[in-house]
Homo-oligomer: A and B are copies of this chain.
Amino acid sequence: MDENKEISLVEQALELLNEKKFAALRTLLEDQNPADINDIIDELSDEASVLLYRILPKELASEVFVEMDTDKQEFLINFFSDSQLKDVFDELYYDDTADIIEEMPANVVKRILKVVSPDMRKAVNELLKYPEDSAGSIMTTEFVRLKKSFTVADSLDLIRSVGVNKETIYTCYVTDEKNHLIGIVTAKDLLLSELTESVSEIMEENVISVNTLEDTEEIVLMFGKYDFLALPVVDKENRLVGIITVDDAIDVMQEETEEDFSKISAITPSDTEYLKTSVLKLWASRIPWLMILMISATFTGMIISKFESALAVLPILTAFIPMLMGTGGNAGSQASVTVIRGISLGQVEFRDFFKVLWKECRVSVLCGVVLGIAAIGKVMLVDNLLMGNPEVTIFVALVVGLTLFATIVSAKIIGCALPLLAKKTGLDPAVMASPLITTLIDTVSLLVYFYFASLILNI
């Protein structure tokens, strides 16, 4: 992207707005992409946003409206007269209207539903019924519907007459009299076929579709796998009720990725940009997890207290605790994040449980042996020779090395097993992973440490 050009568009617009050169501003903006115009609005106060919004041609204005933050949208809606509000929403696709309505307070929703056309009201009400994260909640009901008996010429005529209001004309859907989905025809098929050919001859009959209640996570994977531009959505009776377009799938893909990143770093997911999120909101999304993780660390504290006398005999043992627990945590999160991603991408399932376990066993033994030996070497070299600590004997090094080995093996096994078990029991693998895994690994590593210490060092 031409970064400089983009910055200067925002700057140019702000300057023209400041100088009240509205005609020039309109000329500048009318050729721009709605997403770029929204970048300008992002920099403006609510009042200045209204001003800039009014300068835009009607259709473009609606396209920009869809791109805006919820807060800005709400401000503008409250500012609009009923007839202005109608103008905006008349230009929108049903699914965009439904998305906006979902984020608005009840009084605003009431106003919007009052001014929109009966068709839109009905469609939006239908769309709002679908559960969050279901295919129904992200589909659009505006697509091109063809009949089997149509010729290519009929189909092209239909596209010409209704196409302007459809979200895509590149994939058209063939349905029977009961609205069952029986085939798809792409615009490419239509353009490359003879005008007299019949739709039934050129349509693809082996259609891949999803049910209205299908999880959006699954849908995102299908777009990645099949390279679709759109995916049809059918109800329980295989009647076509909507389509999901690739741009909406990309949005969902990005949202879900961010959600997963939040979860594995112990943050409650939010869909606002970091710099736009208030300090209080950031705090609220982080403090519960820190609290849970802190309290769960009580166990490790209790174990250490219990072995206080052993540590008093050989205080140097304390020095290795952070390294042991840290390495255990790292080894565990390597395994857990790998498995969590595998589950997310549909590559790993619960039925692979023993396959995964066996794989992690072997990987962890390899890692454990290498790190265990390295640790023994390091302890003898650095702590014994270099720093000349007489407390550090080969036996101490052995305790550290053995504990490290055992910690890594158990960390990887806990790390790979818990997400799969979570998935099986219907919990979210990403959420349940980090706190529980960390606590378990820390506890195990300390217990093993003190066990080996008492065994080998007789304390």
Question: Complex formed: what's the CA distance from A356 to B170 in Å?
Answer: 43
Interface hits, A321-356 → B, CB 8 Å: 321-323, 325-327, 329-331, 333-334, 336-339, 341-342, 345, 347-348, 352, 355-356
- Please report A residues at the B interface, Cβ cutoff 8 Å: 1-2, 31-33, 35, 156, 159-160, 163-164, 169-170, 187-188, 191-192, 205-206, 208, 210-211, 214, 218, 221-227, 229, 246-247, 250-251, 253-254, 257-258, 260-262, 264-267, 273-275, 279-280, 282-283, 286-287, 289-291, 293-295, 297-298, 300-302, 304-305, 308, 311-312, 315-316, 318-323, 325-327, 329-331, 333-334, 336-339, 341-342, 345, 347-348, 352, 355-356, 359, 362-363, 366-367, 370-371, 374-375, 378, 382-383, 387, 389, 404, 408, 438, 442, 446
Q: When A1-B210, A374-B291 are in contact, do A339 and B191 touch as well, CB less than 8 Å?
A: no
A293 contacts B327, C-beta separation under 8 Å: yes
Tell me what chain A mostly uses at the interface: helix, strand, loop, or mixed.
helix
Q: When A170-B187, A210-B1, A319-B305 are in contact, do A367 and B286 touch as well, CB less than 8 Å?
A: yes
A261 contacts B341, C-beta separation under 8 Å: yes
Which single residue of chain B is at the shortest CB-CB distance from A187? Answer: B187
A347 contacts B274, C-beta separation under 8 Å: yes
Number of identical monomers bound together in the oligomeric complex: 2
In-complex Cβ contact of A289 among B214, B261, B330 (8 A): B330
Identify 26 residue pairs between A and B in the complex whose beta-carbon atoms are under 8 Å apart, listed by A's number.
A1-B208, A1-B210, A1-B218, A33-B208, A160-B192, A169-B191, A229-B229, A229-B246, A258-B341, A264-B265, A265-B333, A286-B334, A287-B371, A289-B334, A290-B371, A294-B323, A294-B375, A297-B322, A297-B323, A298-B382, A301-B323, A305-B387, A308-B319, A318-B318, A321-B321, A326-B438
